[in-house]
């Protein structure tokens, strides 16, 4: 039976791969990669990781064009499902064509496959549709959230308190009552700007975490959000894409400065 290894490769720094991930890389015969528009450097980063850790050159990479996704659809969840189903169809066809009946394929996932990544759901869609018989394993990776906390030298949670992890789209819809610590991912429009009128928030922000282009900022949200917005715009113009995340923390509870404040 064909087997797929879903390998978390961290936020960008090759040094952050786990030993389990390195061993998985060396078991893979064919890597399946969905290429995003204007992100050739991401594809090259994957290749560099493979060249660094794989002990021979018997593996191949099969690149798949990422299906277009309607990001303006009124039915956001439906649009995501359609995009995922299109990916599932393309991946199933590629695996059947490129991987032998008992072969081991690999999918390299930024960060950790369990956190705001659709790869597991894509494979489950293939299995549910009965399009292809296969097995799969998931290898965890260092997430951008972990790197963000490490770079700023802060814990994600305060004493005996929860952490709320959400997206920029959900942040605009409001926060649950009593939330003091909010990790925000997938925020194309920097939704936290809408909270600047509330003087109670502190932000710890990071972009391209774990790469040579890493950028950090921290401080009272109302004081630093304009500078973060400018920096973010310049970085997006330079690279054609941006990956960033941030932690919002109510200053009334824990205001210890991060490394970016010093």
| pLDDT single digits (tens) 30-69 | 999 987 665 667 778 888 999 999 999 889 999 998 877 6
> For 106-133, what is the mean pLDDT?
93
| pLDDT single digits (tens) 180-217 | 999 999 999 999 999 998 889 999 999 999 998 999 99
Per-residue pLDDT, 254: 53
State the number of CA atoms in the 13 A half-sphere of 239 facing the CB: 21
Look up tokens 């952490």; give the residue. 163
Backbone angles phi, psi at 180, to 5 degrees: -110, -15
Per-residue pLDDT, 100: 94
Domains in the chain (CATH in brackets) are: 2-139 (3.40.1010.10), 144-261 (3.30.950.10)
Q: Name the more confident of 171 and 259.
A: 171
Radius of gyration of the chain (CA): 20
HEC states along the chain? CEEEEEEECECCCHHHCCHHHHHHHCCCCEEEEEECCCCHHHHHHHHHHHHHHCCCCCCEEEEEECCCCCCCCCCHHHHHHHHHHHHHHHHHHHHHHHCCCCCEEEEEECECCCCCCCHHHHHHHHHHHCCCCEEEEEECCCCHHHHHHHHHCCCCCCCCCCCEEEEHHHHHCCCCCCCCEEEEECCCCCHHHHHCCCCCEEEEEEECCCCCCCEEEEEEHHHHHHHHHHHHHHHHHHHCCCCEEEEEEECCCCCCCCHHHC
């Amino acid at each position: 039976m064909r087997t797929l290894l879903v390998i978390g490769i961290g936020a960008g720094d090759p040094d952050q791969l786990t030993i389990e991930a390195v061993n998985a890389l060396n078991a893979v015969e064919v890597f399946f990669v969905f290429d995003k528009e204007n992100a050739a450097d991401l594809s090259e980063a994957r290749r560099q990781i493979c060249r660094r850790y794989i002990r021979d050159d018997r593996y191949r990479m099969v690149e798949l064009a990422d299906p277009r996704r309607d990001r303006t659809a009124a039915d956001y969840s439906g649009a995501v499902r359609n995009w995922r189903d299109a990916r599932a169809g393309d991946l199933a066809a590629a695996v059947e064509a490129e991987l032998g009946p008992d072969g081991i394929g690999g999918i390299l996932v930024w960060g950790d496959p369990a956190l705001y990544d659709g790869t597991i759901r894509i494979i489950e869609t293939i299995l549910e549709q009965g399009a292809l018989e296969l097995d799969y394993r998931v290898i965890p990776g260092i997430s951008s959230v972990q790197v963000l906390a490490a770079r700023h030298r802060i814990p994600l949670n305060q004493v005996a308190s929860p952490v709320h992890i959400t997206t920029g789209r959900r942040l605009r819809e409001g926060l649950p009552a009593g939330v003091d610590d909010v990790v925000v991912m997938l925020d194309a429009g920097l939704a936290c700007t809408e909270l600047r009128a509330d003087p109670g928030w502190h932000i710890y922000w990071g972009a391209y975490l774990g790469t040579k282009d890493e950028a950090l900022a921290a401080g009272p949200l109302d004081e630093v959000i304009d500078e973060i917005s400018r920096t973010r715009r310049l970085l997006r113009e330079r690279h054609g894409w941006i990956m960033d995340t941030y932690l919002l923390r109510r200053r009334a509870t824990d205001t210890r400065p991060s490394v970016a404040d010093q």
